[in-house]
Amino acid sequence: MVGRANLSNRVLDTTILVALIVFSLACLVPILHTLAVSFSDKAAADAGRVLLLPIDATTASYAKVLDDGLFFHAFYISIKRVVFGGLLNFALTVMMAYALSKDAKQFRMRNVYMWFLVFTMLFSGGIVPWFMTIKSYGLLNSMWALILPHAVQVFNVILLMNFFRNLPKELSEAAEMDGAGPWYIMIRLFVPLSLPAIATVTLFSIVFHWNSFFDGLILMNKQDHYPLQTYIQTLVAQLSAQAMTGMSPEQLAQAMAVSNRTFNAAKIIISMIPILLIYPFIQRFFIHGITLGSVKE
């Protein structure tokens, strides 16, 4: 019986391992395909002959993306947006989550503010009122137009709030008996104990700010104010609308070597690089943080 049980366990373990390997490869296939398309020749990509390896490998698509000073300027704007937007999200999320983690006896308006937050998750005023509000504050064509409207991300607040509520109340009670105030308790106790959840919401904030392109199209009137994703989004339209007259032979040959398919693949790969560099440093906190912060006792 013991031998059969051991054999059964080994078969089950092997089956699970094979299933996980297949699932992992399935997740990698789209990335490898996009990478292969970005390095492939225009004709091969348009004909759909590219699978996981480049055909007639060329870097024309990447050269088209990188051969422009505006690209690096847009990259710099996105870096600033991620840094300042992430810091603002972090500060407001931690403070709101800490206050809302208290019960109604400790924070009398807690339920009212909670209903306001939940309401904003379910209903929106629409694009036109959103644009008119930002315009009325004189924020158009500024970095703050990309940061302030997203300063408080309700999902992150709720995630971190539930994490704070799961921490032992005895910790804050003991600190209060020793004379510690709310700011001291939040900064010296709750924040260090909540690093997994904070790393999780920080990753969400970074990915959101880095991938956003629509607000840049709406709120920026000049191309030199575009963040990276907005700038890359406009390159396809510019490529298809470019007049062939006035171009040098080298520029004409480069434009003819690039198709929308390879060009889109190149911009996807370039956009993924910063997140792929950041994620390994936060990954160890990610699963632990989102699991503990998503369950309310």
DSSP state of 148: G
The per-residue pLDDT for range 148-166, each reduced to its tens digit, is: 988 988 888 988 888 888 8
- Comparing CA positions, the residue from 241, 216, 251 lying closest to residue 146 is 216
- Which domains does the chain possess? 60-293 (1.10.3720.10)
Tokens 């999200």 -> residue: 89
DSSP state of 190: I
Distance CA 216, CA 149 (A): 12
Long-range contacts of residues 97-105, Cβ cutoff 8 Å, at least 24 apart: 97/157, 97/158, 97/160, 97/161, 97/163, 97/164, 98/164, 98/182, 98/186, 98/190, 100/157, 100/161, 101/161, 101/162, 101/164, 101/165
Distance CA 211, CA 150 (A): 13
- Comparing CA positions, the residue from 164, 195, 163 lying closest to residue 284 is 195
- Comparing CA positions, the residue from 232, 196, 81 lying closest to residue 150 is 81
Distance CA 91, CA 83 (A): 12
CA 62 to chain CA centroid, Å, is 23
pTM: 0.77
Q: How many CB atoms lie within 10 A of CB 85?
A: 24
Distance CA 98, CA 106 (A): 12
**For residue 3, how many C-alpha atoms fall within 13 Å in the half-sphere facing its CB?**
0
* Structure confidence at residue 83 (pLDDT): 93
Yes or no: say if 58 and 265 are a contact pair by the CB < 8 Å rule: no
Yes or no: say if 159 and 293 are a contact pair by the CB < 8 Å rule: yes
The per-residue pLDDT for range 134-150, each reduced to its tens digit, is: 999 988 888 899 999 88
* Structure confidence at residue 290 (pLDDT): 56
Mean pLDDT by 10 residues, the chain (297 residues): 66 87 87 86 78 82 78 88 93 92 84 87 85 90 90 89 85 84 88 85 88 88 86 64 51 55 80 81 65 51
Which bin fits 179, alpha (ψ -120 to 50), beta or left (φ > 0)?
left
| Cα dist from 125 to 119, 130, 234, whole Å | 11, 7, 27
Distance CA 125, CA 296 (A): 30
* Structure confidence at residue 244 (pLDDT): 47
- Comparing CA positions, the residue from 171, 167, 168 lying closest to residue 185 is 171
* Structure confidence at residue 28 (pLDDT): 86
Structure tokens at 108: 């009398």
* Structure confidence at residue 81 (pLDDT): 93
Q: How many CB atoms lie within 10 A of CB 146?
A: 25
